[in-house]
Amino acid sequence: MRTAFGKVKTRLAAGIGSTVAVGTAALYSIFGAGPPAPVAQYAAGSQIDAGQWHVVPQRAWVSRQKVYDVPLKPGQQALVLEVDLSNRTRMSTRDYSKLFSLQPIPGIPLEQPLVAQVRDPQLGPLLHPGLGERVAFVWRVPDSATPPEALKVDVVAKTFKPIDNLYGTPGWFNPAVVGQMTLPLEALATPSATPPGAAEQGS
């Protein structure tokens, strides 16, 4: 009797599981859900259109001293990402602080990067329409942390809306990952020389 009851329970559980699986598959089909599509992969020198910005990644390196006017406290080192940015909009802007999102690195707490101009070192430079500028995104991390062999960074782009549903004004909204950059991380490198022609680059 117990054996028969156990078989009934097993069949009932299997039937419920199959029903749930079929129902889930049907929901994914109906609503068009599914695994996220793989994002584009980029390396140094790639041309990337990211909403407001045209991006050309240059190199990534480690520094243990002040770099491009970004100070380091005792016990800190910096992971530095150098890119050429061109402002594709009609207005000067500093809206680039969340353009790149460093992928999690085991054992290393990450904060928002500081952004510095390379040509004439200053923090948070105002970037003008149609003009290219080489900038450095600097993540300050503990000096005891072991940097990875490569820096993996998500590229986050916004979309222009003539009229936003919430604010009723034009602007750039809805940030989304549009690609991933992977650059080898140079150990204890030095700052770049002034990039020739960076300020004359267009979009």
- Within 10 A of 117 (CB to CB), how many other CB atoms are there? 21
Instruction: Note the pLDDT of residue 193.
Output: 62
Torsion angles phi and psi, residue 10, rounded to 5? -65, -45
Give 63-77 pLDDT, tens digit per residue: 999 999 999 999 999
| Tokens encoding 115 | 């952004």
Q: pLDDT at position 33, please?
A: 53
d(CA 174, CA 182): 24
Question: 203 pLDDT exceeds 50?
Answer: no
Confidence at residue 191, expressed as pLDDT on a 0 to 100 scale:
76
pLDDT band for position 192 (50/70/90)?
Answer: confident
Q: Evaluate if residue 95 carries a pLDDT over 90.
A: yes
pLDDT tier at 189, thresholds 50, 70, 90? low
pLDDT band (50, 70, 90) for residue 85: very high
- 3 has pLDDT over 60: no
Unique residue bearing structure tokens 């419920």: 16
Residue 181 has pLDDT above 90, yes or no: yes
| Separation of alpha carbons 179 and 38, rounded Å | 9
pLDDT(187) > 90: no
- pLDDT above 70 covers a percentage of the chain that reads 76
Mean residue pLDDT across the chain: 82
pLDDT tens for 106-149 read: 888 888 999 999 999 999 999 999 999 999 999 999 999 999 99
Q: Output b/e per residue, 38-71; b: 16+ Cβ within 10 A.
A: eeeebeeeeebebbbbbbbbbbbbbbeeebbebe
